[in-house]
Amino acid sequence: MNFSRVLVNLPLKLKRKKERMPRHMLIKNTALTASILSFSTLLAVLFFYLGKNTTSVAIIYILAIVFISRYSNGYAPGIIASFIGVICVNYVFTYPFMKFNFTMDGYPITFLGMIIIAGIISTMTSHLKLQNKIIQEREKLLMEAEKETMRANLLRAVSHDLRTPLTGIIGACSTFLDARDSLTAKEQTELVKNINDDANWLLNMVENLLTITRIRTNDTPLHKTSELLEEVLSEAILRLKKRIPQAIIHVQIPEDLMIIPMDATLIEQVLINLMENAYYHGCPDKPVSLSVSTREGMAFVRIRDCGQGIPEDKLESIFEGSPSAPSQSGDSRKGMGIGLTICRTIITAHGGSIYASNYEKGAEFTFCLPLKEETSHEF
């Protein structure tokens, strides 16, 4: 889809839609205009007989025109309301009452000024509505374009992160079948272990894919409960240890208890993905650092490795699902593509944010979560 061409032609399309006003919209505009003008007339009568002030009456009708222009479609309701307002002020609220009189000193200019002001207000309000609609349509199209880009990046990351362990499994199985008689028991065990590791990696990838699919399609809304962060960290570390027993995790958390509204299972998955990523891309014989701090109503979780850091040109796009090149160790299973995309999706769904940076000894991933549940408002 050529989104630039769509954006250029968008005002013309909206104008064509405006010209073909359906019948129900015409009825709505008529009912709205009649209701607001009737209410304004009753209000004007009340003000006029209490204060004997024609100026207040004129202001009431101008406000009515503003509301009509704001909540109706097109220019016509506001302009028609402008004429009706001028006629009502002259006919009902100007002496001699219930008669038209444009001959009194000053009244022709006053009424002409009123209808010009009312017409300008109506036109400006309708124009602003049209501009706002154009902006909303453009934002919608840009979001669709961004989704297409993210979908392409996600597919590329999936193909990269799933292909490499599958290749390892096929290669190990072929070696075992072709040279089983010449392999020692230790070599056979090593091949089976490699197959098992790659299969577990694939299982983790599938779980990640299912998670991101559920969240993005809203099939499974987040079920947040108040969780003790220390327990969530402990459970994530235990699960990581089952997968990578040799991993060393150094934890530093505040003494105060931190209870955070979250989906504990999903946050555990974020922690496991980040710690696993830190282990594989850092130095396996050095510890991964996990620290927690609080600031301005947010809990910050920071995970550091002792590797070579992240290339500067990758820092901004590292969460977009772009697969990275394998590390120097030659382990092709160390792609960062899909796992970090999952992390950003989960943290964003929790109302937090996640970002990557470098420090003097390696890479650092930080995500933050609100300490209290935020109330959403619709505008």
Kindly report the number of other CB atoms within 10 A of residue 170's CB atom.
Answer: 12
Q: Are residues 250 and 361 in the same domain?
A: yes
Domain boundary pick from 143, 172, 197? 143
Amino acid occupying residue 298: M
- Is 150 part of a structural domain of the chain? no
Q: Are residues 132 and 260 in the same domain?
A: no
Q: Are residues 229 and 346 in the same domain?
A: yes
Q: Which residue range is the domain that position 107 belongs to? A: 3-143
- Is 231 part of a structural domain of the chain? yes
Closest-CA residue to 341 (of 274, 244, 260, 261): 274
CATH of the domain at 365: 3.30.565.10
Domain boundary pick from 113, 143, 173? 143
- Is 27 part of a structural domain of the chain? yes
Q: What is the pLDDT of residue 118?
A: 64
For residues 132 and 87, what is the distance between their CA atoms, to the nearest angstrom? Answer: 32
- Is 319 part of a structural domain of the chain? yes
Q: Are residues 110 and 242 in the same domain?
A: no
For residues 264 and 276, what is the distance between their CA atoms, to the nearest angstrom? Answer: 18
Q: Are residues 229 and 366 in the same domain?
A: yes
* Residue in the structure block whose two tokens are 């105060």: 256
- Is 171 part of a structural domain of the chain? no
Q: Are residues 138 and 245 in the same domain?
A: no
Helix (H, G, I), strand (E, B) or coil at 299: strand
Kindly report the number of other CB atoms within 10 A of residue 177's CB atom.
Answer: 8
Closest-CA residue to 79 (of 111, 33, 32): 33
β-bridge mates for residue 227, sequence order = 260
- Look at the chain and report how many structural domains it folds into: 2
Domain boundary pick from 106, 127, 143? 143
Taking the whole predicted model, whether its pTM rises above 0.85 is answered as no
β-bridge mates for residue 260, sequence order = 227
For each of the chain's 379 residues, which pLDDT tens digit applies?
454 554 445 555 545 544 566 777 788 888 888 888 888 888 888 877 776 666 777 788 878 877 887 777 766 777 788 778 777 777 777 767 777 766 665 566 766 766 677 667 767 777 787 788 888 888 888 888 877 776 776 677 667 667 777 888 898 898 888 888 888 888 888 888 888 878 877 877 777 677 667 666 555 567 789 999 999 999 999 988 887 888 899 999 988 888 999 988 889 889 988 998 898 888 888 899 999 999 988 999 999 998 888 888 888 778 876 544 444 333 444 444 567 878 888 898 888 999 999 988 889 999 999 988 654 433 3
Q: What is the pLDDT of residue 142?
A: 84
- Is 321 part of a structural domain of the chain? yes
For residues 336 and 318, what is the distance between their CA atoms, to the nearest angstrom? Answer: 8
Q: Are residues 8 and 114 in the same domain?
A: yes
Q: What is the pLDDT of residue 290?
A: 95
- Is 353 part of a structural domain of the chain? yes
Q: Residue 284 class from Cβ within 10 Å (0-12 exposed, 13-18 middle, 19+ buried)?
A: middle
Closest-CA residue to 58 (of 33, 94, 30, 23): 94
